Amino acid sequence: MEGRPPDDIALAERARLGDERAFEELVRTYQGIAFRTAYLLTGSSADAEEAVQTGFVKAWSGLRRFRPGAPFKPWLLRIVANEAHNRRRSARRRAELELRAAAAHPSGDAAPSPEGAALGREHRAELLAAVNRLDDRDRDVLTCRYFLELSEEETASVLGVRRGTVKSRTARALARLREAVTSD
Amino acid sequence: MTELELALVALGQDVEVPAAPDLTPAVLARIEPRPMPRPRRRWAVVVAFAALATLTATLAIPEARSALLRILHIGAERIELVDELPEVTLQHDLEFVLGERVTLEEARRRAGFALRELDEPSDRVYLGDKGTVWFLYGTPERVRLLVAQTPRLRLASDLILKKLVGPQTRIEPVAVDGSPGFFLDGEPHLVLLLDESGQVVEESARLARNVLVWESGGVTYRLEGDFDKEEALRLARSLG
């Protein structure tokens, strides 16, 4: 999947057998992406922090169920995403993410990337508002695929669905988003 | 990638996410040391449970919540009678508990034993821990019926499925086509997945409704839903 598997496989196996130091290393390695995932799903820093902490604690307990040799990141992110969803549900639709786009790139920065140029054409603020208006299911799959840049397989694992479902949900979500943007 | 997809990737890079705090100390403070696996002991436990199952299957349960009958065992299930259900973090994402979602064909191929199915096709099929195959009727949010089948051979795994049953849940011994089983109803009970050290694998904790559990031919069967005993037995007997 990604660049870390050999290390991760060994660390996860040691952690599975009860090695806390190995687990600590996994926490250090993945807390960043775990936090970003939880934040994008909840829109709340405090909820994201709690989701990540609880997610790691559950991962430690659940490592017994972890299949040796399996990729650790999507397995962990699924637990964290699940925690984030629980918090989002309990907050009763505070899930309406209030993501704010970062300030525009100051002048003098390197030339915009092709993606940046594309974004310029699509009007970033408008696109973000449209993403925010999508329902949870659409937004979650887009968050995983494009904001977190997870593969289809990783997204399937994180969302607990089949890869084919990720494909179809992504296509539907993109269609809805396109419609929302063009009709604005 | 389409232009819209490129735009989303760029947007993702620009979405303002607070800096991730270092949560390592907080996480490490919350985890409990876990003993290393001891395979030999695991077998001993399995043998002990099997012996207990033989004993309990021959006894009438009703009012008996005596020390002798506080733990029942049938197939891959351990049922423990407690005075009060413990407080655990319940897992509300049923799909997460059930395992990997698969097609029926995939389940048949990977189960390793002959699946028994109701005439009505299930809405979803999952392959879970210990090789349990789950047939879900309805949706994960609104489950009408769950049918689980766990091969006994997988008892050698390091996980134990435990039901914690409070005083308000009735347990009645039943026979399904001559095979011993139990019907649980009255109050929901906790279903936990334990590792061999007895620690709850927390994300598996959930509340179960009325349940019929029995073992036949080396496979433990569970039906779970809002049915009474007669309906549960009828469903059980109609499993093809």
- What H or E segment, with its residue span, contains residue B76? none
Mean per-residue pLDDT for B170-175?
82
Write out the E strands in chain B.
Answer: 71-74, 77-81, 100-102, 124-127, 133-138, 143-151, 159-165, 170-176, 179-185, 189-195, 206-208, 210-216, 219-225
The size of the A-B interface in CB pairs under 8 A is 157
Pick among A115, A147, A150 to test the B interface (most B CBs inside 10 A): A115
- Looking at the domain A114-183, which fold is it? Arc Repressor Mutant, subunit A (1.10.10)
| Shortest CA distance from A114: residue in chain B | B6
Task: Give me the pLDDT at residue A70, please.
Answer: 81
Report CB contact under 8 Å: A58, B96: no
SS3 B77: strand
B102 or B57, higher pLDDT: B102
DSSP codes joined into one string, A99-147 = --BPPPPPTTSPPPPHHHHHHHHH-HHHHHHHHHHS-HHHHHHHIIIII
Domain limits of chain A? 5-90, 114-183
DSSP string, B157-204: SSEEEEEEE-TTSEEEEEEETTEEEEEEESS-EEEEEEETTS-B-GGG
Could you say which architecture CATH assigns to the domain A5-90? Orthogonal Bundle (1.10)
Distance from CA of A50 to the nearest CA of B (A): 10
Question: What average pLDDT score do residues B104-129 get?
Answer: 87
> Phi first, then psi: what are they for B226, rounded to 5°?
-90, 65
The distance in angstroms from the start CA to the end CA of chain B is 48
Residue type, A166: V
- Least confident span in A33-47, B67-81, B84-98, B165-179: B67-81
Q: Rg of chain A's alpha carbons, rounded to an integer? A: 18
pLDDT at position B185 is 84
Chain A, 113 to 142: residues with Cβ < 8 Å from chain B are 113-116, 118-119, 121-122, 124, 127-128, 131, 142
Q: What is the pLDDT of residue B121?
A: 84
Contact A148/B at CB under 8 A: yes
Is B16 within 8 Å of A101 when comparing Cβ atoms?
yes
- Number of separate helices (H) and strands (E) present in chain A: 9, 0
- Residue A57 has its nearest CB partner, among B3, B7, B30, at B30
- Chain B residue at shortest CA distance from A149: B9
Q: Is the predicted pLDDT of residue B154 greater than 50, yes or no? A: no
Q: Is A86 on the interface with B (CB under 8 A)?
A: yes
pLDDT beyond 70 at B3: yes
CA A100 to mean position of chain CA atoms:
17
Bigger pLDDT: B36 or A106?
A: B36
- Find chain A residues with C-beta within 8 A of B105's C-beta: none
| Structure-model confidence comparison of residues B180 and B62, the more confident one | B180
Instruction: Answer yes or no: do B12 and A131 touch at CB < 8 A.
Output: no
Tell me which chain A residues have a C-beta less than 8 angstroms from the C-beta of B14. 101-102, 119, 124
Tell me the pLDDT of chain A (184 aa) as tens digits. 444 455 888 889 889 888 889 999 999 999 999 999 999 888 888 899 999 999 999 888 888 767 777 888 888 998 899 888 878 776 654 455 555 544 444 444 444 455 555 455 457 778 888 998 888 889 899 999 999 999 998 898 888 778 888 999 999 999 999 998 887 6
Give the pLDDT score at B197.
54
Interface with chain B: mutation pick from A146, A159, A166, highest number of B CBs within 10 Å: A146
The pLDDT of residue B89 is 62
Q: Which amino acid is at A164?
A: G
- Average pLDDT of chain B is 72
Q: Which residues pair with B175 in a beta bridge?
A: B180
Which of A55-69, B91-105, B144-158 shows the lowest per-residue confidence on average (mean pLDDT)? B144-158
Which residues of chain B make contact with A25, given a CB cutoff of 8 A?
none
Chain A residues whose beta carbon lies within 8 Å of the beta carbon of residue B34: 18, 60
